[in-house]
Chain A
Amino acid sequence: MDQVAIPPGHDVAEHRHEEPRTGTGVSNTKLAMWLFLSSDCLFFGAFISAYLFYRGRPQPGPHPADVYNIPFTSVTSFILLMSSLTMVLALAAIIRGDYRRLRIWLLATALFGATFIGGQIFEFTEFYRQGLTLDKNLFGSSFFVLTGLHGAHVTAGIIWLLSLWGLATQGRLTSRDSERVEIAGLYWHFVDVVWIVIFTVVYLIPK
């Protein structure tokens, strides 16, 4: 497998990462993040199940087919997917000690995330104009709660990324802190995989 190389001129000692001395032999922070993500699967599972439960039940309109704009949502999904790429490139950059690229990729990830949220706000506004509100019908309630909670997760991720970017611009994020970028990346990729499921189950699967 290809491996990441230290560029000439970078101090190898700066890239050295010591194994954590914990009871489990792995970083407690990383383990805690994975536990959180594991529990978040159940959290999102509950809202996806609620959507599936209410979907297709007789109810007053508007119905999904009346409001969905698949080409638009496909573009925002593509943007979120690309943000996962920039996030992982930011991690690769900090591991190499390439702080200029780290700043670029962190900011790009936050901007992609913000574009996705902008698209979601636009979509919600359009749905509202077409008469679909949170309390209009069961579809509206389950759709807005599910996608809105996902949007809240993305927003939290953007704030996290911007704070890392701020630290990076001040030179307070070095190769020794690469785990901090990795943990933020885990959260960001999780938000992406949840959207992969939501996009398929909520938007694409035929009614």
Chain B
Amino acid sequence: MADEATPVGTATETEAQESARPAPEEELPGTELERSEAAAPAPAAAQVPMLPGEVRPHPSPQRYVMIAAILVVATAAEVGLYYLEGEIPDGLIIVLLLMFAVIKFTLVASWYMHLRTDKPIFRRFFVIGIIAAISLYLIVLTTLHVFSR
């Protein structure tokens, strides 16, 4: 049953595959499990087809974990900067905090939201929204003298 799919190459799965296959005319050497493993294609050779709208395949789960590690380090650095208030200039803290926020935002949007691998139309829509929001509110806040207080 599709719902009860189990991870790579379990005995039950490969045995089920073997039983579904027509009986060979000549019995090959080795156990049933060994024969089915030999007949199965190498995992790297069978790539998952891309999702609709993708121009490149999704990254691997290992890559996702690596991105998460970078996000955690960036968050830790941000919190560390918060506690440096008064020891280094506020302007520098603000610049560094915004830099870390931009890095985290970009990592999540490009890797987890797959803007790197999807068709550019999605990226364009999102970037237009962000630029519109930043431009609009920067103009409003500047007009209201928020940054010159």
Contacts and interface: CB of A to CB of B under 8 A. Distances in A.
Contacts of A56: 149
Contacts of A25: 119
B125 A24 contact: no
Nearest to A37: B126
A18 B52 contact: yes
Given A17-B52, A84-B108, A193-B109, A200 B68 contact: no
Interface residues of B, number: 81
A154 B30 CA distance: 54
Contacts of A189: 108-109, 112-113
A104 to B, nearest CB: 11
Contact of B93 (A9, A192, A196, A206): A206
A119 to B, nearest CB: 15
Interface residues of A, number: 81
A200 B2 contact: no
B109 A70 contact: no
B75 A26 contact: no
A196 B101 contact: yes
Most A-side CB within 10 Å, residue of B9, B51, B64, B146:
B51
Interface string B55-95: 01111111111011001100100110110010000100110
Interface of A: 1-10, 12, 14-20, 24-27, 30-31, 34-35, 37-42, 44-46, 48-49, 52-53, 56, 70-71, 74, 77-78, 81-82, 84-85, 87-89, 91-92, 95-101, 171, 174, 178-179, 182, 185-186, 189-190, 192-193, 196-197, 199-201, 203-206
